[in-house]
Structure 1
Amino acid sequence: MRDVASPSPAADVDGEAPRLNRRQAAKVRTRQKVLDAARQLFAERGYEPATIRDIAKGAGMSTGAVFANFQDKAELFEAVLSTDMIKLAETLKSAAAAETTVRARVLAALTAGYHASLEQLPLVQAVIARSWFQPVAAEMRIRAAIKPLISVVTDTLQAGVGDRELRQDADVRLLGEMIYGAWLSNYRRAAYDGWTIQQLTDQIGKQTDVILAGALSRQ
């Protein structure tokens, strides 16, 4: 009878994540250093002024090491954005969960978003600015990256339908996209008018009230 080989140390056993060998672990660490350095520079300078050379310097490595992990600056930017959007979505979810009414949950989530991202305003500006000039494929990837944020809002609205705070025929997808669009547009007031988080919160509260006015349950 043929012996059955034992799983190698790198194999996935009982659902556990496969262990990395030394070379793979080093590559993961290098990639993370590049991402951390890029995130810091994008947050401080925005997209265009942050060069690959400066990102490499911030990571303590050569530009070749950066290009060994990312095809170009655009791919690096998308990787930073995707990671940050996942974390930001979790922040929004946690904030929303602490409230009871649909309006309070939506506003708590969006206010938490302002708190988490306003210190990185150049990065937010870069996301908005690039959205008008990037290739279609890049646009689709960015939409996928921000989808978790919009989902927090739409899921909250859907719960409001279930709780009968909102009408049963409310188009939660459209309402969620409108609220997210209003939330994102307010960053211009922070960038050019110096609005504080409190001013942004007050504004998105008024915008949310207008957007949801026709969807509120009459019960």
Structure 2
Amino acid sequence: MKHDTVPLHGAQEAEIRVPTRRALAKQQTRAKVLAAARRLFSEEGYEGATIRDIAAAAGMSTGAVFANFADKSDLFREIMLVDMASLAEVMREAAHRGRTVDDCLLKAFCAGYAFYKSQLPLARAAFSISWTPDQGPELRNMAPVLALHDLITEQLLAGVERGELSQEAEVKLRTQMLFDCYLANYPEAIFLGWSIDALQAKAKDQIRVILAGARRG
């Protein structure tokens, strides 16, 4: 019995398209370069890690690196994009375990600090360029960073809905203040060796003070 065959078109064809050997090789090259760059940025800092060193650590030529990334800043941005996306997810999951607005925010902040506690050299490299005029604005406006703003806003709005915060809580302003405090605590962990407990105690006070004028009653 002969069966009719239905040709695949458009999205159906794209779904079953198998990557070519060349495409797979390119993916593997990018992965090797990113792994080598992550290690060297952690060990040498952003300025200390050169494209030549990254290429050597990845076991390839500088030409192979430039075939996949425009320059060193492009490499670092890619690493930060992956890290910040993971960070945003970790903080969101932590916030969902909280009960009150203060608790949700504190759990999210502490999850963020714990995320980078194991890779402080890389965080140090990120902070070294986060306020530079050429790369800083782009890093601060990456989608995962903006997602952290959204996460704080969501927790404040949930606090309003639960009746913990007043309807006139000035959510936008307090979101920015809380986010600024969250970031401001990182240098104490990175450069002064503060423990998670110390960061948690400070963040708890910051959240309490910032939300003090927004509480109902």
For 1:17 and 1:135, the matched residues in 2 are separated by 41
Deviation at 1:58, TM superposition (A): 2.6
Q: Kindly tell me the number of residue pairs found equivalent between the two proteins.
A: 212
Deviations for 1:119-168, whole angstroms, at most 9, x for unmatched residues? 222322332231332327x6135312411222222211121122121111
Contact map agreement 2:46 2:128 (CA 8 A) in 1: no
2:141 aligned partner, one-letter code: R
Aligned to 2:116: 117
For 2:161 and 2:174, the matched residues in 1 are separated by 15
Deviations for 1:178-214, whole angstroms, at most 9, x for unmatched residues? 1121111112222332211111111111111111111
Deviations for 1:29-66, whole angstroms, at most 9, x for unmatched residues? 21122122222222333211122122222322222111
2:123 aligned partner, one-letter code: V
Aligned to 1:180: 179
Deviation at 1:71, TM superposition (A): 0.7
Aligned to 2:59: 60
Contact map agreement 1:85 1:148 (CA 8 A) in 2: no
Contact map agreement 2:91 2:108 (CA 8 A) in 1: yes
Query: Gapped runs of 5+ residues in structure 1?
Result: none
Secondary structure of 1:6's aligned partner:
coil
Q: What RMSD, in angstroms, separates the aligned Cα atoms of the two structures?
A: 2.3
For 1:14 and 1:82, the matched residues in 2 are separated by 30
Aligned sequence identity (%): 43
Do the aligned partners of residues 15 and 163 (structure 1) sit closer, same or farther apart at CA in structure 2, a change above 3 Å counting? farther
1:6 aligned partner, one-letter code: P
Aligned to 1:154: 153
Deviation at 1:15, TM superposition (A): 8.2
For 1:114 and 1:18, the matched residues in 2 are separated by 41
Aligned to 1:6: 7
2:108 aligned partner, one-letter code: A
1:115 aligned partner, one-letter code: A
Contact map agreement 1:175 1:212 (CA 8 A) in 2: yes
* TM-score computed with the length of structure 2 as normaliser: 0.87
Aligned to 1:143: 141
Do the aligned partners of residues 50 and 23 (structure 1) sit closer, same or farther apart at CA in structure 2, a change above 3 Å counting? same
2:137 aligned partner, one-letter code: E
Secondary structure of 2:121's aligned partner:
helix
Secondary structure of 2:28's aligned partner:
helix
For 1:40 and 1:174, the matched residues in 2 are separated by 37
2:98 aligned partner, one-letter code: E
